[in-house]
Amino acid sequence: MKKVILVRFGEIFLKGKNKHIFEKLLIHNILESLKDFKVRLTKISGRYVLTDFDEDYENQIIDYVSKVFGVYSVSPCVQFESSQEKIEEYVGSLTFSSETFKVDVKRADKRFPINSTEYSAHLGGIILDNFPNLKVKLKNPDVTVYVEIRDDGNTYIYDKIIKAVGGMPVGSSAGGLLLLSGGIDSPVAGYMMAKRGMPLHAIHFHSFPYTSESAKEKVLTLAKLVSVYTGNIVIYVVPFTKIQEEIHKHCDGDFMITLMRRFMMRISEKIAKENNLKAIITGESLAQVASQTIESITVTNGVIEDLPVLRPLIGMDKEDIMEISKKINTYETSILPYEDCCTVFLPEHPVIKPKLEKVLKEESRLDVLNLIEEAIKNIEIFETNNIN
């Protein structure tokens, strides 16, 4: 008898003609997430089985695997060669502290002589003999003993089905560039696109010395936390101070945010294209702040040449975004009180519905192309794999 972990994946994406590509990716991503553990992965029909791991790390392995996109649920279980004698001996050794239970047998191996319903009743009988006060309850019992007699010749017995993240394996879509601030929203936006299979790179605009080293560290930490789900993230840190100072010096202060955001978008699209990324991702949510009215979004989006800008949070309430951010463990870092570049030179009355004509007039006072070139030249590059 061995302790193993059953890993279930989404049946849907494994049915199409790209099945083998998805499957290869998923196995690769699972093994990558477990690279620090000794473990073996084998495939049985419709599942993966993790074996040969150190039992001390079982919970940690389960935790990691349930964060791999494409994995739908996970069960720690025991595995042994299918035989009536062994199954009954094991079921007979189980102990219960609950009041109600049921046995759920799935017989995939038709060589096994007894059908599922009959065998569930038989095994239930063995348990009742041992625990006469227990009651069978078919709907919502306290404990379900799952017995899977599979066609690989093995039986798997477990009582827990742990829900995993679901989604599509990262890498099944082309990559995207996430505009990552230190806030609550952008890490969630990245998580949501990665959940649909999109690998991430991240870009952060940094206004040193107006914003501190710690503000930058915070963003790297956030990227590291998101990378638990996505695998390695390359982070481009763009020096943004000069651009902000030039805007501040030459333009109407009320347009600060609009102008800044147009620079961010232009630089992001360039970096995305240079790195073969096919989309830009932001954490914008309609009407959350002044720069997120549809008029503002239109004016900032206007500088984009051809990449799609994905805004997975656009229709979400802050409460719901915060809930996800807590679930994915970025919230506590996001709320650390370091200033963002957007709070530097913040105007008292930012325009809420900027007119393109006026924005272009303000922008014409700047040497846009050179400012962009200089910022890009001084980018610092990090990778989450190299961050502890």
Based on the shown chain and the rule CB under 5 A, indicate whether residue 190 belongs to the binding site for Mg ion: no
Among residues 2, 312, 1, 377, the alpha carbon closest in space to that of 173 is found at: 312
For ligand ATP, the binding residue among 29, 33, 120, 186 (CB under 6 A) is 186
Which of residues 82 and 291 has its CB atom nearest to ligand ATP in the complex?
Answer: 291
| Number of residues this chain uses to bind Mg ion (CB under 5 A) | 3
Q: Which residue's beta carbon is nearest to the bound ligand ATP?
A: 183
Asked whether position 282 contacts ligand ATP by CB under 6 A, the answer is: yes
Interface positions, 45-64, toward Mg ion (CB under 5 A)? none
9 contributes a contact to ligand ATP by CB under 6 A: no
User: Of residues 333-362, which lie at the interface with ligand ATP (CB under 6 A)?
Assistant: 340-342
Q: Can residue 269 be called a binding residue for ligand ATP (CB under 6 A)?
A: no
Measured from the CB of residue 370, what is the shortest distance to Mg ion in angstroms? 27
Q: Which residue of 100, 154, 214, 288 would you call a contact of ligand ATP, by CB under 6 A?
A: 288
Residues in region 21-80 near ligand ATP by CB under 6 A? none
Shortest Cβ distance from residue 380 to Mg ion (Å)?
A: 20
- 176 counts as binding ligand ATP under rule CB under 6 A: no
Name which position in 66, 181, 282, 285 contacts Mg ion (CB under 5 A): 181
Nearer to ligand ATP, 75 or 292 (CB): 292
From CA 272, how far away is CA 45, in angstroms rounded? 39
Binding stretches for Mg ion (CB under 5 A) = 181, 183, 340
Binding stretches for ligand ATP (CB under 6 A) = 179-181, 183-186, 203-205, 282-284, 288-289, 291-292, 340-342
